[in-house]
Amino acid sequence: MNHTFEKFFRYIIGGNQIIGGLIGLFFASNIDFNQFLSHFFLYLIIIGLFVFSIYCGLYLLINKTNGYKLTLINQYPQLAKIILLGYGYEYYTGLIFFVGFTDTPKFNLFTQIEAAFRSQAYLFMNSKSDEISIMVNIIPIIIVAIIFRLEKKEIIKIK
């Protein structure tokens, strides 16, 4: 890996974070006002995550030294999607590639692979669902691995 790859990687990941955050803000803005008021703090957190994704992408694109550190912080919450009997967590922006299993009343246990470019954030609390779903997002794992590899080869420095 060299500096040309680092520059290419920085632009791709920065763009992915910006576009993913903008998509997330667009869909977050299309909610019912009464629903927004009843779940104000939850929507504030969701909107904050999408704005943070845009911020991380901008820092990478303008080549700030702490852009990689912010990107790492942004990638960790996107690693897993977990839903267990009405409680769960799901957050991702940009390119996703989930691998895992789902067990719902409609389907028996199976492996699921999902690849797309989209943004979502959900927090399930006491919903009436019998679903059990544990998925791992491969894209953040790859991004984190490449960032640590670039740092190990002393192409970048994470402060």
Q: Where are the domains of the chain?
A: 3-152
Q: What is the pLDDT of residue 27?
A: 79
pLDDT band, residue 57 (cuts 50/70/90): very high
Handedness of CA 155, 14, 42, 103 (dihedral sign): negative
| pLDDT at residue 118 is higher than 60 | yes
Question: What's the order of all strands across the beta sheet hosting 87-92?
Answer: 110-117, 95-103, 132-137, 80-84, 87-92, 120-124
| pLDDT at residue 32 is higher than 80 | no
Q: What is the pLDDT of residue 96?
A: 83
Q: What is the pLDDT of residue 111?
A: 54
Nearest-5° angle of CA 134, CA 140, CA 145? Answer: 120
Task: Report the C-alpha gap between 87 and 102 in whole angstroms.
Answer: 14
